[in-house]
Amino acid sequence: MNPTGPRRPRRNPLLRSSRPGLLVAAAAATLLVFSGCSAGTPGQPQAKPSGHATPTASHTPRPLPTSTPTAAAAGFDKHAQSIDDPTSTWVVVNKPRPLNPINYTPASLVYPEVTYVNRQPMRPEVAEALVRMFQAGKKEAGLDFSVQSAYRSFESQTNVYNEDAARNGKAYADTDTARPGHSEHQTGLAVDISAVPAKCSLDACFAHTPQGEWLAANAWRFGFLLRYPADKVPVTGFAFEPWHFRFVGEPLAAQLKSTGITTLEEFFGVPGGTEYH
């Protein structure tokens, strides 16, 4: 990632899909629509999707507050789920750890009844938790949120990466865009969240909006992890993305909160970093 480089507009055609409905299964429709870019309107420039946006030089991110490390919760089993199986909510995908199979597609994808910037689905467990989180943000703080992006297929990620490489060169693209098979969005477990009304969407300054601050403090309660913290770029391999939240489930999210560990790489002791292997 290039945290000081200028934001470059990116095209991301709007996903065309079936009607919305809370937790309505849409796997069959999903397989038909994810052959291209999965967000935005064809022919119109779009904001960069998560894992690919570069904060502008005018916004210097403040390190996010972290919990004071405490003893791990008694009985927590790090081996309860696989970190290699893409169907697992604990799967760790990053630059040196591609998905296996690399063209993995979730078996079930749904559209929760929430506000969308780009209408994209997610796995059912993510949708259920996201609805509860958005409802809590509204009830507790009077805040409104929208889904900027969610699931992106291998084909869609290929289009995004190739477009960046063609425009800026492969070397630059590798600092700015996840290669296909290396993006959390392909798991169906990642959600990019924006404020309503929109402010600092896909920008580091989202961290300082009321929505960004509430999410940073409360997302763990609903099983989400702020996946790319400001102070962990060398670990995660991606620049600070205060809008990108990864669903890991409530037990693991609570364990991360309890121990003060902020990345999956550090918690599970697996490779990360800025280089592809």
- Residue 271: which of 241, 228, 237 has the closest Cα? 237
Report whether 57 contacts 4 (CB < 8 A). yes
Report whether 47 contacts 201 (CB < 8 A). yes
What DSSP state is assigned to residue 220? G
Determine how many CB atoms are found less than 10 A away from the CB of residue 234. 9
Pairing mode, if any, of strands 224-226 and 190-196? unpaired
Determine how many CB atoms are found less than 10 A away from the CB of residue 151. 25
Helices (H) and strands (E) in the chain, counts: 8, 6
Report whether 173 contacts 164 (CB < 8 A). yes
Determine how many CB atoms are found less than 10 A away from the CB of residue 56. 15
Length reported for the chain: 277
Return the active site residues: 241
d(CA 42, CA 6): 23
d(CA 127, CA 133): 10
d(CA 275, CA 277): 6
